Amino acid sequence: MTTLLPATSPTTSLARFSWMAVVAAALAGCGGGSDDPPLQDVALLAGDWQSQGCTVIGSKLSQRGLLRLVRQDATRFTQSYGTVTHANGDCTGTGTVQLLPPDTATPLAVRSTASTGSLAVFWAHWTQDSAASTPYGRWALQGDFMCPVFYAVVAAIFPAPPPPPPHTSYDLEAAARQTDEMLQRRACYTRVPA
């Protein structure tokens, strides 16, 4: 059996083809799933980070706060607290790392990430919390600096959380602005020299 199709002009066929190409390109961008970009690997955060601020205890003793971030997999890590202690009064030279006991490490899961040209931001939750809950905190990397903000701890120790709605915890613009402010106040962390 032969099926006859109505005759069309070359212009009509070209127009249909162009329209189909536009639709195909639009659908290809969907990827068949979520439009969310893949999460960045927490390997960028891994390591020992010391606070920029120095606490002088005496002429022969000073300390910097320490965060140790240990990658468990691409989206999970643990965070431990401690100090880098120096045998001088200005936190210079090689220091001694002292950590709180391992059972005090905080297990976290990254549920969202974002980036700009110079900033990589990770939002993480307690591992048992869902992505719909308020994050435990945010870690922003800019150059050689990491600027964490913890939403669930005393504001006297760490900067206050972002403003209430319409801003959200995941507001990249607010994260960038707060990171800039923290860098100006020297309230961020740098990697502990090897």
* Interatomic CA distance for residues 19 and 41, integer angstroms: 39
Q: What is the pLDDT of residues 74-86, one digit of tens each?
A: 999 999 999 999 9
Residue 152: pLDDT band with limits 50, 70, 90: low
Look-up: residue for tokens 């602005």?
A: 177
Q: What is the pLDDT of residues 115-143, one digit of tens each?
A: 998 999 999 999 998 888 889 999 999 99
- 78 is written with which tokens? 């643990």
Instruction: Compute the average pLDDT of residues 180-191.
Output: 96
Closest CA to 162 of 140, 138, 189: 138
- 148: CB partners within 8 A, 6+ apart: 67, 137, 138, 139, 140, 158, 189
What φ, ψ does residue 83 adopt, rounded to 5°? -140, 160
pTM (2 d.p.): 0.74
DSSP state of 168: -
Q: What is the pLDDT of residues 7-43, one digit of tens each?
A: 444 444 434 334 333 333 333 344 444 566 788 999 9
Look-up: residue for tokens 């240990």?
A: 70
